Amino acid sequence: MPSPTLARTLASIRPVDLDRMAAVQARMDRQTKPRGSLGRLEEFARRFVAITGREDIRRKEIYTFAGDHGVAAEGVSAFPPEVTPQMVYNFLAGGAGVNALARHAGAEVRVVDMGVDHDFGELPGLIHRKIARGTANLRRGPAMTRDQAIEALEAGIALANAAADAGVDLLGTGDMGIANTTPSAAIAAVFSGLPPTQVTHRGTGIDDQSLLRKIAVIEEGIAINAPNPQNPLDVLAKVGGFEIGGIAGLVLGGAARSIPVVVDGFISTAGALIACEMHPQVREYIFAAHRSVEVGHAVMLERMAQQPILDLQMRLGEGTGAALAMSLIEAALRGLREIQTFDQAGVTQGRDQ
């Protein structure tokens, strides 16, 4: 089944306006500071303005996509799968890491059930997009069907569209899913062509023996499924996850609606990489929040030509890094709006500027 929504979304993604970016930089170069001295904050400001046409942020939203994974049965995580629904309840009660850091950043957290192996009923606050109660075990066959992969992408695209209509100017991604560093490492291996040993790490904190088992599971999963790196939808379906598809869709939808997307850690970056592999301009709309402890993270960031904003030894996921990075993007915009020019402040300009 082809997806008109996906095709339309991809067709709407445009290159970011370089003239607008240059105009913002020229303005920052007249501000009372040695040229370039706010470092990467200047990049954040000029990119945000070039993408959105705005110099302020009305609303910031972090989407925490949750899903379960059949591959959890292989003992690849330090925690049992029931933690996924338990953490969904925790998010909705405002008691998780992402809730605390999003409050700090002034961002709203939206929790999406993409495929948790639990019946939440009519739980208020939860966005219901359940595709199935967990993926199939990717070691034995495809994690999901092609139609399910499309459904996951379309869910993320629809959420980005609704956010755009509601005046959200900055989107963030987040994830929750016991065992989801396994599909994420598989995605990193498939697109980079590196062996799984080089992109697989400890996730929630597995020991050496479990790490060897996890690597073997990924090797077997890639061998049995033979995902085609030229076909990102095939990679998502065969070795991905429902929440990873939701993240990829949010990134595509954000890019199509000219909303920058702050991409969280390892799992979010696997989703964003799928989106980037679908369209060459998607990467221009991404802010990589931080570099996770997971060894495969840098490999994916490099492939997407992203330099992470932060490097704080974090490995929680949920959107925690995205919340922190949003604060810095907002700080950069405040600098753009409020720092006076040399002329305005009567400050003498330097030489060689």
Ligand X SMILES: Cc1cc2nc[nH]c2cc1C
Active site residues: 318
Q: Which stretch binds ligand NCN (CB under 6 A): 6-14, 160-168, 169-177, 230-238?
A: 169-177
Segment 291 to 320, residues that bind ligand X, using CB under 6 A:
316-318
Q: Which stretch binds ligand NCN (CB under 6 A): 38-46, 103-111, 224-232, 264-272?
A: 264-272
Contact 229, 300 (CB under 8 A): no
**Burial class for 205, CB neighbours closer than 10 Å (0-12, 13-18, 19+):** exposed
Give 223's Cβ-side CA count (13 Å radius): 9
- State the minimum distance, in angstroms, from the CB of residue 289 to ligand NCN: 9
Q: Which residues of 114-126 are buried (b: 16+ CB within 10 A; e: fewer)?
A: bbbbbeeeeeeeb
Strand 261-263 and strand 286-288: the pairing is: parallel
- Judged by CB under 6 A, the residue of 44, 65, 91, 266 near ligand NCN is 266
3-state class (DSSP) for residue 111: strand
Q: How many residues does the chain have?
A: 353
- State the minimum distance, in angstroms, from the CB of residue 316 to ligand X: 5
Rounded-to-integer distance, Cα 196 and Cα 182, Å: 10
Q: Which is nearer to ligand NCN, 52 or 181 (CB)?
A: 181
- Judged by CB under 6 A, the residue of 97, 221, 245, 317 near ligand NCN is 317
Contact 325, 16 (CB under 8 A): no
Rounded-to-integer distance, Cα 61 and Cα 81, Å: 26
83 contributes a contact to ligand X by CB under 6 A: yes
87 contributes a contact to ligand X by CB under 6 A: yes
135 contributes a contact to ligand NCN by CB under 6 A: no
**Nearest position to ligand X, beta carbon:** 79
Rounded-to-integer distance, Cα 31 and Cα 40, Å: 15
179 contributes a contact to ligand NCN by CB under 6 A: yes
Count of residues touching ligand NCN (by CB under 6 A): 23
Instruction: Give the amino acid at 221.
Output: G
Segment 275 to 294, residues that bind ligand NCN, using CB under 6 A:
292, 294
Q: Which is nearer to ligand NCN, 19 or 207 (CB)?
A: 207
65 contributes a contact to ligand NCN by CB under 6 A: no
Segment 182 to 221, residues that bind ligand X, using CB under 6 A:
204
Strand order in the sheet with 126-128: 126-128, 108-115, 59-67, 168-176, 261-263, 286-288
Q: Which stretch binds ligand NCN (CB under 6 A): 16-24, 91-99, 263-271, 277-285?
A: 263-271
**Residues in touch with ligand NCN (CB under 6 A):** 77-79, 175-182, 203-204, 264-267, 292, 294, 315-318
Binding interface with ligand X (CB under 6 A): 79, 83, 87, 176, 204, 316-318
